[in-house]
Amino acid sequence: MYFRMLHDEASGAMSYLLADLAAGEAVLVDPRGTDLPVLRAMLAEHRLATRWVLRTHEHDRCLAPDERRALAALQQLDAPLVVHAVPADPLLPFGDEFIRVLATPGHTPHCLSFRWRDRLFCGGLLAGDACPHQPRPALPQALWDSVTEQIFPLPGETLLFSGHARHGRAASTVFEQRRWHPWFGGAARDEFLARVATGPIANGVH
């Protein structure tokens, strides 16, 4: 297997490439159109074809024209795009591997998370204030439910990969976030909703 992370210093955006080298198939999570030359070079280096393009969330109303063009450039990868909704079959195959798609709304109304092996790519769910386009959750109640019902029940050693890294690490574990996330760890639902009503979500990926 092959796994790489890309980080954009200006925006803090994180992108991920995972691949089954033996099968020659790759999956891109939250790729940026402006990274297309780098992504193509990485794919060519290992003779990989893109099987899926996965996006945890998008901010269509916030995107500048140049970013819209950059996202449109991803269509050149000629791979199915999964965004906004869980497919009819939530298990996405690539090579001998599978990725499970989870509906985790809250940061934006239609956020998705993607689970692969011991890793979960969860976009801005736990690091809301690191996202320049959505520093406050679009749906606070749904965000609480997504985190406490979809993420925290996972094994404690599960690795969590954020869609943004501006104020801390890009990755943490479920165990860490259950215990020490400044807003979700040890908090009650009403307490969380009261706090989010008065300020942005603090970045939990320290």
pLDDT tens string, the chain, 206 residues long: the values are 899 999 888 778 899 999 999 999 999 999 988 888 999 999 999 999 999 999 998 776 556 565 667 677 778 888 999 988 999 999 999 999 999 999 999 888 889 999 999 999 999 888 766 666 766 787 899 999 999 999 999 999 999 999 887 666 778 999 999 998 888 887 789 988 888 877 655 555 43
Paired tokens of 52:
């899926």
The CATH number of the structural domain formed by 2-196 is 3.60.15.10
Burial pattern 153-176, b for ≥16 Cβ within 10 A else e, equals: ebeeebebbbbbbbeeebbbbbeb
Other beta carbons within 10 angstroms of residue 90's beta carbon come to 16
Q: What is the pTM of this model?
A: 0.89
**Using CA atoms, how far apart are residues 88 and 2, in angstroms rounded to an integer?**
27
Q: How far is CA 194 from CA 49, 84, 107, 144, 197, in A?
A: 47, 27, 16, 12, 5
Residue 128: predicted pLDDT:
62
pLDDT of residue 122: 94
Residue type, 171: A
pLDDT at 155: 97
Distance between CA 88 and CA 91 in Å, rounded? 9
Q: Are 3 and 17 in contact (CB under 8 A)?
A: yes
Q: How many helices (H) and strands (E) does the chain have?
A: 5, 11
Q: Is 51 helix (H, G, I), strand (E, B) or coil?
A: strand
Which helix (H) or strand (E) segment is 162 a member of?
strand 159-162
Distance CA 148, CA 193 (A): 13
| Domain range annotation of the chain | 2-196
pLDDT of residue 63: 60
